[in-house]
Amino acid sequence: MATPSHTAGADATTAPEAGNGRVLLITGASSGIGAATARAAVAAGWRVALAARRRDKLDALVAELGADRALAVAVDVTDLDDQTRMVETVVAHFGAIDAVFANAGTGGGPGGFAAAPVDGWRRMVDVNILGCAYTLRACLPAIKERRGHVLITGSVAGRRTIAGSFYAATKWAVSAIGYGLREEVRGTGVRVTLIEPGVVDTAFFDEPKPDGLRPEDVARSVLYALSQPATVDVHEVMVLPTPPRDA
C-alpha cells in the first residue's frame, strides 16, 4: 500500500496519519505542551526541531527522542533576528520545515488592571503576541514552499471575557493573528490551526491544577490537526477539561 511521500504536493486525498519524516518546528518546546507535542510527533513519525530558551532542557529532550529525530535550537522568541537564525538552522539541518507550532507563551502576576505589575504586561506582549508574530514572519517562506501547516497555541482565554486578565487580552490578540494569517495565506495551500486549551496542569501555574488538562491531551489535539489530509483545514481546536464529578 502506498504511503504519502515527503514531498510538497503529495496526494491531497491521503491523510498523513504518520509524519513520514516530515519536519515540525516547535517553539516553547522545553516543557509542558511543547515537550509533550514533540514526544507525540516523534512517535507519529515526524522529525522535530525543538526551540526554547533553555538549551539544557532541550538537549535532554533530544537525548530522549534521539538525535536522528530531534534537533535543539536555543532561541529568544522576542528577537526576530534570533528566530530568523532558528529557521535557517532548522532548514540547514533537516532540509525543510513542513509545519510550525508557535507555542511559546508566558503569564503574568495577579492584581488585574488595577494592580498587576506592568512589567509583566510588557513581557506578555513581547512573548505571547510579538513572539508568535515573529515566529510566523521567520517561518512563512519555508512553510509556503512546502504548502505546509501553521499551528498556534491560543487559549480559551482568547475566546471569553476574563475579569482583569491582561493574559486573556494577549490571547485575544493571538486569536486575531491566527484569523488574519489564515486569510493572508488563503489559496496558497498553507493551513492555519488555532489550538485553544483550557487550564493545563503545567509549570505555567504556580499551583498544581489537578482538574486541568494534561500536556499530552493538548498534544493529541495538535497531532489530530496535523494528521488531516490536505483537503481538510482544521481552523480551531478548543479542548477543555471534563468538569469534575459532583461529590
- Give the residues across from 102 on adjacent strands: 152
Please give the DSSP secondary-structure letter assigned to residue 69. Answer: T
- Say if CB 53 and CB 30 are below 8 A apart: yes
DSSP character string of 119-146 = HHHHHHIIIIIIIHHHHHHHHHHHHHHH
Please give the DSSP secondary-structure letter assigned to residue 191. Answer: E
Q: Residues of 188-207 as b/e, b for ≥16 C-beta within 10 angstroms? A: ebbbbbbbbbbbbbbebeee
Catalytic, 134? Answer no
Location of C-alpha cell 510527533: 41
Q: Could you tell me which of 156, 43, 132 has the C-alpha nearest to residue 80?
A: 132
Q: Which residues are catalytic?
A: 167
